[in-house]
Structure 1
Amino acid sequence: MNSRISNQPATFSRTRTGRFSASFSSTARGARLARLLAVEQLAAWGWPYDTELTQDTALLVAELAANAALHGATEGGRCFRLRMEANETRLRIEVTDAQPTSYPPCTGNTESNETAESGRGIQLIEAVATQWGVANNCPYSKTIWCELSVDVAESPPASGCQESRAVQEDRQPH
C-alpha cells in the first residue's frame, strides 16, 4: 500500500516566468492586499512561500505599496498599481501612484532621527533589492521600481515528512 509513496522531494515548475498587474485603493488595506497578492502570485509561478525570494518580495511590495498609499494618494483617492514581471534571472516589482512630483528621499541619509517611526523605507529597498529607481510615466504618475535576482536553482526546503522517512528507513533492520 505504501509502495506508491515516493521518497523523492517535491519538484516545482522551473518556468517561473510571467507578468502580474493589479490596481489597489490608496489605503492601508490596499497596501496589505497588494503584499498578499504578490506572494500568492509568486506561489502560482512556482516559488514556495518560505523562500528568500518570496520573503524579500513581500517586504519590498509592502514598503512600496505603503509608500504609494501614504504619499501617492490624491484628494480624489486614486489607486496605485502593482506590476510584477519575472523571468529566469530577475523579478521586477513596480508600484505606480498618482503623485508625479512626490519623490522618495535620497538614499544614504544617515542623519535621520533614530527614534522616528518612518523614513527608512528607501534604505530598506536599497538594502534588499539588487537595483531600484524612479520613472516618470507622464505628467500624472510616477513609478518606483526595484529588482531582485532570481536563483532558478533555489529549491524548496526539505519538509519534516522527508526527514522523518529517512530516519525511519535507517531504523529498519537490514
Structure 2
Amino acid sequence: MTIPGLTAPHPGDTFELRFSATARGARLARRLASHRVHEWGHRYGSEVNDTVSLVVGEMAANAVTHGLVPGRDVLLRLIRESGGRLRVEVSDTRGERLPDLPTGLPADAETGRGLVLVAALAEEWGVTPREGAPGKTVWAALASAPVVVTEPGGIGERHGVAATQPGPWVHKLTAGGLNHTSGDVLVQRPAAARRRAQS
C-alpha cells in the first residue's frame, strides 16, 4: 500500500511477511515483528518493542479470527517512517467485515479487547481498503524515539521529518460519533496519546 507523503528513510526500513491465517501464523508474525524492531534499534524488552509486539499480536489474531478466507494468507507490513514513527499494517482478504472499537465490555468478557488495546497504545489507527487485492488493511501508527545507530564510517542519528499529513482516507472519531465515508475508519489520538501530548 502506498501512502501519500510517506517514505521510509533508508532502504530496508520496510518489512513484509505473508503468514498463514492460523494462530501459529499470528504468533510467527508477532515474533518476527519483534525481531525486526530489535534490528531497527528498539531492543527486546524495550517499551517500543513490547508495544509493537502487542499491537502486531492483536491485529494478527483479529485477522486470522475475523478475516479468515480459506486458502488465503495474511500480510504483515512494518514501516519505519521518517521521524521515528512505526507503522504496523495487517491485511486480510475479508473486506466486508470491518473491525469496530467495542464499547461497554463486561468486566468478565474473555474476548473483544484487542482493538481496545491497539487504540490505547497507538497514536492513531484505522482501516483502509486493500490496494491491488480484495480485502482490507488495518493499520496503527506507534510513537518511537529516533534510534542512534552506528553507520559505516561514523556515528549518527538516523531519523527524518515526520509525515504530518494523513492520507485522504483518514476520518476522525468525534464526540458526536463516527465520521466516516466509504467504509474507512480511524480512531485518532486515543487517551494515551493525548496524555503524552499534554506532558
TM-score normalised to structure 1 length: 0.73
Aligned-residue CA RMSD in angstroms? 2.1
> Which residue in 2 is equivalent to 1:46?
41
What amino acid maps onto 1:147 in structure 2? A
Match of 2:73 among 74, 79, 84: 79
Q: Describe the SS at the equivalent of 1:143.
A: strand
Instruction: Specify which of 92, 99, 123 is matched with residue 87 of structure 2.
Output: 92
Q: State which of 16, 20, 32 in structure 2 corresponds to 1:25.
A: 20
Secondary structure of the residue aligned to 1:37 is helix
Q: Which has the higher helix share?
A: 1
The amino acid that maps onto 1:22 is L
Task: Give the percent of matched residue pairs that are identical in Structure 1 and Structure 2.
Answer: 38
Q: Is 1:122 aligned with 2:110? A: no
Q: Does the CA-based 8 Å contact 2:88-2:139 persist in structure 1?
A: yes
Equivalent-residue separation in structure 1 for 2:96 and 2:64 (angstroms): 15
Distance change (3 Å), C-alpha of 1:28 and 1:143 = same
CA contact (8 A) 1:16 1:46 kept: no
Consecutive unaligned residues in structure 2, runs of 5 or more: 1-9, 150-199
SS in 2 for 1:31: helix
State the distance in 1 between where 2:148 and 2:49 align.
Answer: 11
- Please give the per-residue CA displacement for 1:142-174, whole angstroms capped at 9, x wherever unaligned: 00000111212689xxxxxxxxxxxxxxxxxxx
Tell me if the contact between 1:26 and 1:78 (Cα under 8 Å) persists in the aligned partners.
yes
TM-score by length of 2: 0.64
> What are structure 1's unaligned runs of at least 5 residues?
1-14, 156-174
Q: In 1, Cα distance between the equivalents of 2:128 and 2:117?
A: 19
Q: Are the counterparts in 1 of residues 41 and 147 from structure 2 also a CA contact under 8 Å?
A: no
